[in-house]
């Protein structure tokens, strides 16, 4: 198949492009940043006129291009609404103009807000508590409307705490790469509360494999959790990293953040039923692989 990926120069995008290529697909990337491994059109997804020609001859689109920081979305909600919602709209319209019908995209656990129970099921209430989560829920609604109105096939993959080799944000706000860098360098390891908060960590290879399975779906709108299947406390993640790195973490506890649930993890039975697969990489193995990658990247390790 001819596959177009938006945001194919990011953490997930790079892994997904490689997996698609390995599976025999032709891959094209639209991103503001270059991905030297694949044809990259360096354009904003908001520029519908400019991006539309590149959708000609495409069989399916993976839409990963969106802003992802919940905290930043609280500070600058307009940035998130414009890029995430209108960026999705322009991609859908480019597809409609070129007759492309298959759309798969990155949704988020943030659509649920404060969970009413755990593990979270897909049809539990969705009341986002930050603008980022709201944009992801709006994106799902927008895609569903194109499925009903124009005969698209849509897939919303709601991931929880994605991690793995290659994750490198500036500044680094995600827990696992931040913990690795801080423990390795002896810096203070910031923990909100006592670290007993439990999260659903899912390894990058499991998420990518689910994307490839989702590509096989046809007709309708599908939404599902992608879960690591086991909740792990923040403090246990730190202890595992201490063991792998052979260093003690200099933990500094701060007051819990408002609206930060004690437990946030998913029921993944729907994805298992629809996609025929479930997460295979456990947290200890996933962290070991992730640490090994970071230790080979001195330039990345120097940035926190």
Q: What is the pLDDT of residues 74-90, one digit of tens each?
A: 999 999 999 999 999 99
Place 214 in a pLDDT band, splitting at 50, 70 and 90.
very high
Is the whole-model pTM more than 0.85?
yes
Q: How many domains does the chain have?
A: 1
Give yes or no for residue 114 having a pLDDT over 70: yes
**CATH code of residue 195:** 3.40.50.720
Looking at the annotation, which residues are catalytic? 132
Place 171 in a pLDDT band, splitting at 50, 70 and 90.
low
Residue/partner pairs of 165-171 with CB below 8 Å, 24 or more apart: 165/204, 165/289, 165/290, 165/292, 165/293, 165/294, 166/11, 166/14, 166/15, 166/204, 166/293, 167/11, 167/204, 167/290, 168/11, 168/297, 168/300, 168/303, 169/11, 170/303, 171/303, 171/304
Residues 119-139 have pLDDT tens digits of 999 999 999 999 999 999 999
Q: Which residue has the tokens 């659903």?
A: 200
Range of the domain at 133: 2-301
């Amino acid at each position: 198949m001819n596959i177009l990926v938006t945001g194919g120069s990011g953490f997930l995008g790079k892994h997904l492009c490689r997996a698609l290529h390995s599976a025999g697909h032709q891959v094209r990337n639209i991103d503001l940043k270059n991905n030297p491994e694949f044809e990259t059109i360096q354009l904003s997804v908001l520029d519908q006129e400019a991006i539309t020609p590149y959708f000609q001859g495409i069989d399916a689109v993976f839409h990963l291009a969106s802003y992802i920081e919940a905290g930043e979305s609280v500070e600058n909600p307009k940035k998130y609404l414009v890029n995430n919602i209108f960026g999705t709209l322009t991609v859908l319209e480019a597809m409609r103009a070129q007759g492309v019908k298959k759309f798969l995209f990155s949704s988020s656990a943030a659509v649920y807000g404060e969970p009413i129970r755990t593990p979270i099921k897909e049809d539990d209430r969705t009341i986002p508590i930050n603008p980022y989560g709201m944009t992801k829920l709006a994106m799902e609604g927008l895609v569903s409307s194109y499925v009903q109105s124009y005969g698209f096939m849509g897939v919303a993959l709601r991931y929880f705490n994605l991690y793995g080799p290659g994750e490198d944000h500036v500044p680094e706000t995600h827990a696992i790469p931040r913990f690795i860098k801080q423990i390795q360098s002896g810096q203070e390891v910031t923990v909100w509360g006592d670290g007993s908060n439990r999260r659903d960590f899912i390894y990058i290879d499991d998420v990518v494999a689910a994307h490839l399975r989702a590509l096989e779906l046809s007709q309708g709108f599908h939404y599902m959790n992608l879960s690591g299947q086991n909740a792990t406390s923040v403090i246990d993640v730190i202890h595992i990293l201490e063991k792998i790195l052979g260093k003690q973490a200099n933990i500094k506890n701060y007051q819990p953040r408002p609206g930060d649930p004690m437990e946030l993890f998913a029921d993944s039975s729907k994805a298992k039923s629809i996609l025929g697969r479930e997460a295979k990489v456990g947290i200890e193995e996933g962290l070991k692989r992730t640490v090994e990658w970071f230790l080979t990247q001195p330039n990345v390790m120097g940035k926190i």
